[in-house]
Amino acid sequence: MEQVTDKFLRYVSYDTQSDDSSNLQPSTDKQLVLLNLLVDELKALGVSDANIDRYGYVTATIPSNTDRKTPTVGFLAHVDTSPDMSGENVNPQIISNYDGGDIVLNRELNVRLNVADFPEMKAYKGQTLITTDGTTLLGADDKAGVAEIMWVAQYLQTHPEFKHGTVKIGFTPDEEIGRGVNKFDVEKFGADYAYTFDGGQIGELEFENFNAASARIIVQGRNIHPGYAKNRMLNAILIAMELNALLPPEQRPEHTSDYEGFYHAVKIEGDVERAELQYIIRDHDLNKLEQKKAYLQSCAELLGKKYGENVIRLSMCNQYYNMREKIEPHFHIIDVARKAMEKAGVTPVIKPVRGGTDGARLSYMGLPCPNIFAGGHNFHGKYEFIPVESMEKACEVMLNIIEVQ
């Protein structure tokens, strides 16, 4: 059998970055290269119904090989990587028997994984870490989940003595831009419940996530020659900065944790004539999310009164909701996952997701779908790393879920 590490290293060699400025589905054609490869690999394993639809969704069924009546369980992961950093020409580094100290990712650029910055690294002393080379992200979010699901599919197809019910597999594009399951056909997928393997460090088990909204603010300035600008110029850059300064600094991601929500400025660009700000707004409590949205609206209105009604244009839209409401009526699936982890010698770490997953959207579409660790750390950037042993444990947990249910 091919090891999960080999699958992971192969998949991260494909650039699958999604693009939130695209109106296509998937948002980028390059995602389809890996998605079609996954279909070919599943068919080569004998999974005869593996297919990709016109929206880029890969689905497959591994039929039951037991007379025992069991629910149909699904496993999902997304292939796209974040627009936050390049996923092209990923050059993974493999650190065997990690010594527990700092890791030089790129000597020329002086990029290091420092234990002082990421103390969780110490927990993996003696293990094998896969890191970036300091110039790209790694892609463990969520090609680790993809590799783990593909390894389990391989195991089930090559070990007929392992008795199991019907297993559904799904791979999605565009999760990183909030459109991962916009056109996913839950009824056709046919699972009674499912799990996304899209979490972080080993042990994570998540059935709560942020309620999420996005905001886009256009500032229309008035560019006048600076020598004659008094009482005439409206500098869009400065007005954008003024709006951002009105938002509470303690409610930024770098100052929040656990159940605390935030405003996150993800993009600013422009000049004196015109500037644009983009935010994501998050809170586990839907009422608090609405309060944050209302406050941002009041800030825009305040500056509109100050500078003129056509100077500030704000648009907001909701992206996804907290899945807890939809998971709690089916809480046995959390118990199944917990038992599967414990059987694998993994201590469950149940905590809210400070983000979102395809599973949150799927839960509201009628498919209860909590999230389980894939093993990675420091997603979306050059400091990303993943322990090989965590990926292997994720595979074991998945097999245990199939066996325990």
Instruction: Give the whole-angstrom CA distance, residue 94 versus residue 86.
Output: 20
pLDDT exceeds cutoff 80 at 382: yes
User: Quick one: pLDDT at residue 125?
Assistant: 98
Supply the DSSP symbol for 138.
Answer: -
Per-residue pLDDT tens over the stretch 271-299: 999 999 999 999 999 999 999 999 999 99
Q: What is the pLDDT of residues 225-235, one digit of tens each?
A: 999 999 999 99
Residues 6+ apart with CB under 8 A from 119: none
d(CA 358, CA 77) in angstroms, rounded, equals 8
80 is a catalytic site residue: yes
Q: Say if CB 321 and CB 178 are below 8 A apart.
A: no
Other beta carbons within 10 angstroms of residue 84's beta carbon come to 13
Percent of the chain with pLDDT over 90: 95
pLDDT in tens, 27-65: 999 999 999 999 999 999 999 999 999 999 999 999 999
**pTM for this model (two decimals):** 0.88
Question: Is 398's pLDDT higher than 80?
Answer: yes
Model confidence at 178, in pLDDT bands (50, 70, 90)? confident
Using a pLDDT cut of 70, give the percent of the chain over it. 100
What is the C-alpha radius of gyration for the chain, rounded to an integer number of angstroms?
A: 23
List 141, 148, 174, 175, catalytic entry: 175
Return d(Cα 130, Cα 148) in angstroms, integer.
15
What local confidence, expressed as pLDDT, does residue 392 receive? 98
* Angle in degrees, 0-180, between the axes of helices 388-404 and 140-158, rounded to the nearest 10: 50
Strand-strand pairing, 193-199 and 73-78: parallel
Q: Hey, how many other C-beta atoms are within 10 angstroms of the C-beta on 266?
A: 14
Query: Which residue out of 80, 141, 148, 206 is catalytically annotated?
Result: 80
pLDDT score recorded for residue 357: 85
Instruction: Write down the pLDDT at residue 309.
Output: 87
Assign 1 a pLDDT band (cuts: 50, 70, 90).
confident
Q: Is pLDDT at 375 greater than 90 in this prediction?
A: yes
Cα separation, 174 vs 10, whole angstroms:
20
Residue-wise pLDDT tens digits, 322-340: 999 999 999 999 999 999 9
| Second CATH level (architecture) for the domain 211-320 | 2-Layer Sandwich (3.30)
Could you read off the pLDDT of 83-123 as tens digits, one per residue? 999 999 999 999 999 999 999 999 999 999 999 999 999 99
Instruction: Please report, for the chain, the start and end positions of each structural domain, with discontinuous segments joined by +.
Output: 4-209+322-404, 211-320
Closest C-alpha to 139, from 26, 13, 35, 25: 13
> What mean pLDDT, rounded, does the chain reach?
96
Mean pLDDT of 187-199: 97
Domain 4-209+322-404 sits in which CATH superfamily?
Zn peptidases (3.40.630.10)
pLDDT exceeds 90 at position 404: no
141 a catalytic residue: no
CA distance 305 to 201: 47
Judged against a pLDDT cut of 80, whether residue 405 lies above it is answered with no
287: its two tokens: 């009422």
**Amino acid identity of 258?**
D
**Contact in structure between 168 and 75 (CB atoms under 8 Å):** yes
The confidence band for 388, taking pLDDT boundaries of 50, 70 and 90, is very high
